[in-house]
Amino acid sequence: MNRKEFLRLSSMGLASLPLSPFTNHVAAKPLIISTWDSGMPVNAAGWKVLSAGGSALDAVEAGARYIEDTVDCCVGLDGYPDRDGIVTLDACIMDDLANCGAVAGLEKIRHPISVARKVMEKTPHVLLVGQGAQQFALENGFTLEDGKLSPSAEKAYKQWLIKSEYKPVINIERKDKNGPFAPAFFDNGQPNHDTMGILAIDQYLRLAGAVTTSGMAFKVHGRVGDSAIAGAGLFVDREAGAATSSGVGEEVIRICGTHLVVEFMRMGLSPQDACKKAVERIVSRDREKAKVIQVGFLALGRDGSYGAYAIQKGFVFSVKSDTEERIIASPHLL
């Protein structure tokens, strides 16, 4: 570590922490965790990076790109559109030195997470939206896709148009799907959650996170959820840990959800207890509303400990390290 770097980190109170390749501290175990059961292949994609000695940042980006590429999935261009029939994407990526980049309302670009990373690395900004985000993507070598809905998204949208009822409900477990990890499903059998949040720690103890989403299905055109907003859908801090969220973004934004989770970890709470406190904050604000919505938080401590908590039953997350690969059901409050 050179003197300038040392002084910069000292001013953040971080110089004594094990740092990246400079100090060559090796964590006991790199680890990657993701929201939902669909996080299993996402973790596998990220694990390829981590197990080859790559960075947490590259791992979470690889995981997000995997799910953005998955056909007929609930994330990315194949996700559900807004109520005008347009798919708009939100994504955010962050490392543990508070470097972050995000895009919101991005149309026709396959990998919003990589555009977000370019925002982080190539601009002095944090968040680009809509047309400007698309223009930036095109200037940086991304290709414009045709914007057609996937067959299942089109079917779901046509079905939604019959009533056009603006009542976005996501992530609540349905009674007719009662497997132990059953998430919520739309009537066409598609899972009705549409966000992938990923957190990782690498062998040098670096933390990073990524979130990518098509947002709440059939939202108002222009609506931005928590996933694009650092401190709401994603927050990473070298000293305290990392957190991500899934569920009704508005409720997460109202309490700066993942920032809150990370600050609770800074105060000494375990990842699961920190997530629980944030869920309690949402529920205590409006208990009646909380009964009909879902929010789940997932957190990773800087020691590799992890945990989750949700408002309702049905939130699950996936874990991958060299010793485990599994789906875990999150505890819930109601």
For residues 206 and 94, give the distance between their C-alpha atoms in angstroms, rounded to a whole number.
11
How many angstroms separate the Cα of 263 from the Cα of each of 16, 51, 129, 252, 267?
20, 29, 28, 15, 6
User: 3-state SS of 20-33?
Assistant: HHHHCCCCCCCEEE
The answer to whether 196 touches 34, Cβ cutoff 8 Å, is yes
Measured distance between the N- and C-terminal CA atoms of the chain, rounded to whole angstroms: 48
Interaction of residue 213 with ligand SD4, rule CB under 6 A: yes
Interaction of residue 215 with ligand SD4, rule CB under 6 A: yes
Q: Which is nearer to ligand SD4, 37 or 202 (CB)?
A: 37
Interaction of residue 112 with ligand SD4, rule CB under 6 A: no
Beta partners for residue 320, in sequence order: 32, 325
**Minimum distance between the CB of residue 88 and ligand SD4, rounded to whole angstroms?**
10
One of 46, 101, 247, 307 touching ligand SD4 (CB under 6 A): 247
Interaction of residue 225 with ligand SD4, rule CB under 6 A: yes
Reference 177, options 196, 157, 193; nearest CA is: 193
Q: Which residues contact 35 (CB under 8 A, 6 or more apart)?
A: 193, 195, 196, 197, 198, 244, 246, 296, 298, 315, 317, 318
For residues 274 and 288, give the distance between their C-alpha atoms in angstroms, rounded to a whole number.
23
Active site residue 195: yes
For residues 20 and 136, give the distance between their C-alpha atoms in angstroms, rounded to a whole number.
30
Question: Of 35, 88, 195, 258, which residue is the catalytic one?
Answer: 195
**Minimum distance between the CB of residue 258 and ligand SD4, rounded to whole angstroms?**
11
Interaction of residue 226 with ligand SD4, rule CB under 6 A: yes
- Angle in degrees, 0-180, between the axes of helices 39-51 and 56-69, rounded to the nearest 10: 140
Q: Which is nearer to ligand SD4, 107 or 194 (CB)?
A: 194
Q: For ligand SD4, which stretch binds (CB under 6 A), given 157-165, 208-216, 272-280, 325-333?
A: 208-216
One of 114, 134, 150, 195 touching ligand SD4 (CB under 6 A): 195
Q: Which is nearer to ligand SD4, 45 or 217 (CB)?
A: 217
Binding to ligand SD4 in span 249-308, by CB under 6 A: 249
Interaction of residue 37 with ligand SD4, rule CB under 6 A: no
For residues 21 and 145, give the distance between their C-alpha atoms in angstroms, rounded to a whole number.
38
**Minimum distance between the CB of residue 311 and ligand SD4, rounded to whole angstroms?**
12
Binding to ligand SD4 in span 121-180, by CB under 6 A: 170-171
Q: For ligand SD4, which stretch binds (CB under 6 A), given 106-114, 122-130, 141-149, 221-229?
A: 221-229
Which amino acids are annotated catalytic? 195
Binding site for ligand SD4 (CB under 6 A): 170-171, 193-195, 213, 215-216, 225-227, 246-249
